[in-house]
């Protein structure tokens, strides 16, 4: 599957956005305030975003939950319905642009769109391409029992199971190794 630079940036953004959702009631929100949203926008180099407010934060949190539902969707039909709702509500307006030193690419958000509509349109379309390509199962959650972070499996054979093989994957492999050693020792 060919993934353009813009789509890859949108995928990274939507994964990071979904992963700001608190895991449970005791975990802190990854987007606690407008300052955190501004940092998120800056880190992900989201273009055409003006001054942010509490209304923007509320709207981004709302679509964040909708994106999380896409990663939890049981099948392509459910994912497609969720993505269609996100993209339709954003009022997409595809247009070609070549800003900030990047070659020609497509923005799906309307000029002057809010940050929430911007994210819903661009990230929604990036996820839509996975559904269209029959690759919805690549939108996953980490299989480590104490981690449910979202990720996009871009491995060749669709075999990635953990959000990060160096942390979650390695931790589980070490635990399994130790359990086998303990069992063998008797």
Average pLDDT over residues 37-57: 93
The 10s digit of each residue's pLDDT in 98-108 is 877 778 888 88
The 10s digit of each residue's pLDDT in 116-160 is 999 999 999 999 999 999 999 999 999 888 888 999 999 988 888
Average pLDDT over residues 32-43: 96
* Residue among 123, 156, 158, 157 nearest 137 (CA): 158
**Cβ contact 146:172 at 8 Å:** no
Higher-pLDDT residue of 3 and 11 is 11
Cα separation, 106 vs 122, in Å, equals 9
| Global pTM value | 0.85
Per-residue pLDDT band for 47 (boundaries 50, 70, 90) equals confident
What is residue 81's predicted lDDT score, i.e. its pLDDT? Answer: 96
Any residues with CB less than 8 A from the CB of 28 and at least 6 apart, and which? 22
Mean pLDDT of the residues in the chain: 88
In which region does residue 90 sit, left (phi positive, over 0), alpha (psi from -120 to 50) or beta (all else)? alpha
Cα separation, 172 vs 130, in Å, equals 29
DSSP alpha helix (H) spans, the chain: 5-18, 34-43, 54-72, 76-90, 115-132, 170-185
Average pLDDT over residues 91-118: 84
Any residues with CB less than 8 A from the CB of 20 and at least 6 apart, and which? 29, 30, 31, 40, 64
Average pLDDT over residues 22-43: 92
């Amino acid at each position: 599957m060919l993934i353009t630079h813009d789509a890859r940036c949108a995928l990274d953004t939507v994964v990071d956005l979904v992963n700001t959702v608190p895991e449970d009631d005791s975990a802190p929100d990854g987007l606690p305030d407008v300052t955190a949203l501004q940092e998120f926008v800056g880190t992900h180099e989201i273009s055409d975003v003006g001054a942010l407010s509490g209304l923007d934060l509320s709207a981004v949190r709302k679509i964040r939950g909708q994106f999380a539902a896409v990663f939890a969707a049981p099948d392509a039909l459910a994912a497609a319905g969720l993505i269609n709702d996100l993209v339709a509500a954003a009022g997409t307006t595809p247009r070609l642009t070549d800003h900030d030193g990047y070659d020609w690419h497509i923005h799906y958000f309307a000029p002057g769109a809010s940050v929430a509509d911007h994210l819903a349109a661009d990230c929604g379309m990036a996820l839509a391409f996975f559904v269209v390509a029959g690759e919805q199962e690549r939108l996953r959650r980490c299989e480590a029992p104490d981690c449910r972070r979202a990720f996009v499996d871009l491995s060749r054979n669709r075999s990635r199971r953990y959000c990060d093989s160096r942390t979650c994957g390695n931790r589980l492999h070490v635990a399994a190794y130790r359990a086998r050693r303990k069992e063998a020792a008797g």
